[in-house]
Amino acid sequence: RATAAAFVDGEDAQSRRLLTYGGDACVYVWDVRMQARCLERHVDRGATTNGRALAAVNFGGAAKYLYATGQPSGVVNLYESGRDRRSGGGNSAECSPVKEIMNLTTSVGCLRFSKDAQMLLLASDDAKNALRILHVPSRTVFSNWPTVKTNVRRVRCADFSPAGGYLVLGNDAGTAMLFRLPHFPAH
């Protein structure tokens, strides 16, 4: 029973993948070219119940991608494809995340990578202003934003512009908030 899904759009047909996450606390990686062919399955570390959010992004070319899972506990796990698979074969029971992010204390409902895989937004709509951004290359959460004065309310959805220079947030008030990220190109 999938509760979240994400596509990885690779450079060629062989690197396109569908990831699903759900009720059994497992991540499944599917070959888009062959329906119903599961390439890999692993338990999301620390997950005990339904997964709530999933995001994926291609980086570095052929079949390399990052993906993140969001748990009801507020934990976000960041994984890299093909890294630290145990138990052999494609159906590994255990997989180690490259980073466990524990900056949220309520259920993760929104995960979004920037198109260049530089940033990962994590948010919960269970609490006001429950939003963090991870700088993916350094694996650190930005401590200077959002600030105490940044009132984003309960974030329901988010996306980055193609070059990562803008961030849009949709909240429980029905407002779309646009933010300029000055360290990245405008569009």
In 3D, which of 41, 84, 81, 28 has the Cα closest to residue 57? 81
Assign 3-class secondary structure to 32-68: CCCCCCEEEEEECCCCCCCCCEEEEEECCCCCCEEEE
Q: How would you class 69 by CB atoms within 10 Å of its CB: exposed for 0-12, middle for 13-18, buried for 19 or more?
A: buried
Per the rule left: phi > 0, alpha: psi between -120 and 50, beta: everything else, 60 is: left
Q: Any idea which residue has 């990562």 for tokens?
A: 164
Chain segment 144-171, per-residue pLDDT in tens: 888 889 999 999 999 999 988 999 999 9
Chain segment 6-48, per-residue pLDDT in tens: 999 866 666 688 999 988 889 999 988 887 789 899 999 988 7
